[in-house]
Structure 1
Amino acid sequence: MPSESDSKEVPESASSIKDLILEQEEAANLIKNRSLLEPNEIVAEDRIVGRDTQLTNITQHLRVAISNERPPNLFLYGPSGTGKSLIINAVCENILELCESRDIRFGVIQMNCQNIGTLGSALYELVRKVAEDIGVPVEIPEQGIPNKKKWRELYRLINEHYDTVVFILDELDMLVGRRDMDEPAFSRLLYQLSRAGSTNDITARVSVTAITNDTKMMENVGSRALSSFTPEDVHFSDYDANQLREILWARQDAFYENALSEDVVPLAAAFAAQTNGDARKGIDLLRTAGSLAERAGANQVQEQHIRKAQDKVEKNRVLEVTRGISTQKKLCLFATAAIAREAGTGAAKSPLGYQVYQYLTETLNVDQYHQETYVNKMKELTTYSLVETERKSQGPHSGSYLEFTFGENPATIIETLREDSRLDDAHDEELRAVVNAQLR
């Protein structure tokens, strides 16, 4: 039976936790509006910077929906964090409001394809999102039924509840599907959605917007899908440092007045400019730096907090990307990053990277692939914006090679990959010796 002293400890403990929460709330005196520091937050028009051309193009293409006409299909491509999702969502939100004022049933269904494995999973997710948008229960199971039934359910919901619907398929290139299929799942999805309006399956008007970081995605779209999809292309180039500063200044009111020192925004913009002009990274740096400063009890976010945030954000992004990739891709990335780290240039030549890859596979006693496979796996990693590739010549009689340039610090990539215990036997001193022998 608990003693009297024991019974008193519970409320005291609860009170102390509440006090701690209130103390932390009082100490959090730097960030005023955290939603403005969410990279995917749909922001007011005056906060959209450096994308006038893309905004105008997308608006011109989609505006016909307010006249009850079908908008064309769109293909938005460019590096990560360059405003693709931000612009299309902002335009669609405004079109939705205008359509509502004209009694036009306009819908926007957005799906991120990054973690969707098969065409069947994608179809179920689209049905689920449509059902959620119109406020009805999902009437089909996720598993155990053919895709034809999922298509029929999707068509039924669209026909009954929309005049026009825009499907926004973000990171579409990631929807590859089963490797034994001749045509990737994203190609089959584009074919079915874009041709549905020309058949009797759908009476509503359907428009498809494909978004990707992979500029070569359309090369993998089948001929039938290409013929029916025929999108209007909108390219999103990198933000430069000046545009990134404008973007971050446009969100400075997420903080209380004088909460940011003068050098914080320029430094965050400079770090983001180093990573393909990624605005998401700049915004994430501000948010992380603000949180670090609050936890430290600082009166202002300063340069030191941005630098600490840079280390943390880099590691988090690499961890997010590398967590789901295969062991072979990890080994290729690890070997190439080891070359770039020791070279001090952030870049590595493919022949040297392959030699270090051979050392790793022998040391760890895992399968070793040919150099062509190593190069192809590194090329695939460009999709994640970790590396960029450029073909270079060794001279008129010496052939050419690929050079891999890292968007993140190679040392951060190595440190993050080492969280996989399978790399424990690749000791750093020996690795550095092998790499330096190749560089000499």
Structure 2
Amino acid sequence: MLLEFDEQNRLIRERALLDPTHVVEEDRIVGRDDQLQEVTKMLRVALGDNKPPNLFLYGPSGTGKSLITKAVCHNISRICETRDIRFGTIEVNCQDLDTLGVAVYELAKQAANEAGVEVEVPKHGVATKEKWDELYRIVNENFDSAVFVLDELDMLVGRRDKKEPAFSRLLYQLSRAGANDDLSAHISVVAISNDTKMMESVGSRALSSFTPEDVHFDDYDANQLQAILRRRQDAFFEDVLEDDVIPLASAFAAQTHGDARKAIDLMRVAGELAEREGNDRIREIHVRKAQDKVEKNRVLEVVRGISTQKKLCLFATAAVAAQTSDSTARSTTGYRVYQFLTDAIDADQYHQETYVNKMKELTTYSLVEFERRSHGPSSGMFLEFRFAERPETILETLREDSRIDTVSQSEIESVVKAQIRNAM
């Protein structure tokens, strides 16, 4: 069977170029000349065995923040090798890290991997201070200069009983380590976030010691996305892409905040689908199938890890958005549908304020965004939610939860339509 598949048409020549996390050469980075120049200019001082400044890179998901940081650090590392400077890039994604202690251990682990040594403290069962000491030991013994890249830092909230979020305490400790002589190596911290207001949640102590240089990344437009895909077109064999494939993939990605990761994913999935079907070319139909698949995969990845209450809030709001002409949902209408839903499955029911807070928390996943609105003095203020993906995809994915699936689709639609009429 393997040999049979191997004899089928192969359309993808270099799969690494269709991996959004793959570190590419600078000439493949499109539409980010200013940001690339800024990050390079500020981190290049590591080439002289000096301390680079701290950076805060912010903007929507998939706009090149991580890509540019990795590319610049990769080039610095290559040059440092020729100058006998021990340079390290210590990168963690904070999305799945739930406490400060886990984050510090993960940094120690990544530092050890970069240096080719072992971590000598366990992940659990020891105080966070011991993990800090181990991180300092590894960095001091193996690097002259290091850049800590903290991706999706705003997701590291930590325990709710703490006065400030875990990411604030992490920034404070790393920023102060050099001044306190815990670290002899020159270190720079690059904080990366989709949340433009993250720094507002950083404590005053951390803010005064972190003092980053800000670099803003805005959305890619459809033309820039096309250019990005054309720079990776050699991932495929010659003449296997039909002319409308790249423009269509770019248009789909431009609809969801100009996300380059999504555009690259669409091309990869479209190519894989065409290969599996035994086609000799990648066509528009494969991009459309890939769009459905990528959407469902992304939503599934997000909703799989959220609580039942967040699922109920999200389902109710998406059900409203699916029935409106502009695919938006008012918080007041969504809450009434949420009330119906919790009654129908006999679940705990939160007050409207808590429902709104749960929906706000979901904005950190880049799944939904909101604006504060009012339709005149008599209507009062409300939040208007807009989804990054099609609301129908979210509803379909959430119905994989057996409790939600017990409520009939027609019943939900009837309640939603009634509530939308009442809100007019």
Shorter-chain TM-score tier: over 0.9
* Number of residue equivalences: 421
Taking structure 2 as the reference length, what is the TM-score of the superposition? 0.98
TM-aligned CA deviation for residue 366 of structure 1: 1.0
What is the identity, as a one-letter code, of the residue corresponding to 2:12? I
How many Å apart are 1:94 and its aligned residue?
A: 0.6
* 1:333 alignment partner, one of 307, 311, 314: 314
- Once the two structures are superposed, the pairs formed by residues 258-337 of structure 1 within 5 Å of their partners are 258-337=239-318
**Alignment correspondent of 1:244:** 225
Partner of 1:136: 117
Mapping of residues 29-44 of structure 1, within 5 Å: 29-44=10-25
Residues 46-80 of structure 1, C-alpha deviations (whole Å, 9 max, x = no match): 11000011101101110111111100111111111
Q: Choose from 96, 108, 111 the match for 1:115.
A: 96
2:194 to 196, 204, 213: 213
Per-residue deviation, 1:262: 0.5
The range that moved more, 23-32 or 415-424, is 23-32
Q: State the AA in 2 paired with 1:158.
A: V
Matched residue type, 1:304? I
Q: CA RMSD in A?
A: 1.0
Give the alignment partner of residue 169 of structure 1, picking from 138, 150, 156. 150
**Offset, 1:425:** 2.1
Residue 423, structure 1, aligned to residue 404, structure 2: yes
Q: Tell me which of 70, 73, 80 is aligned to 2:51.
A: 70
The answer to whether residue 162 in structure 2 is matched with residue 149 in structure 1 is no
CA distance in 1, matches of 2:221, 2:353: 34
Matching residue's letter, 1:401: F
Secondary structure in 1 matching 2:406: coil
Q: Deviations over 1:195-237 (max 9, x none)?
A: 1011121111111011111112112111111111111111110
Q: Distance in 1 between matches of 2:270 and 2:276?
A: 10
Structure 1 residue identity aligned to 2:5: Q
The secondary structure found in structure 2 opposite 1:342 is: coil
TM-score by length of 1: 0.94
Specify the alignment match of 2:34 in structure 1: 53
**Which has the larger displacement, 149-158 or 81-90?**
149-158
In percent, how many aligned pairs have the same letter? 66
Deviations 1:252-283 (A, max 9, x none): 11111111100000000000001110000010
Runs of 4+ in 1 over 6 A off after TM superposition: none
Q: Equivalent residue of 1:165, what SS?
A: strand
> 1:103 pairs with 49, 65, 84, which one?
84
Q: Deviations over 1:116-167 (max 9, x none)?
A: 1111111111111111111112211111111111111111111111111100
Structure 2 SS opposite 1:211: strand
User: What one-letter code is carried by the residue in structure 2 that aligns with 1:334?
Assistant: F
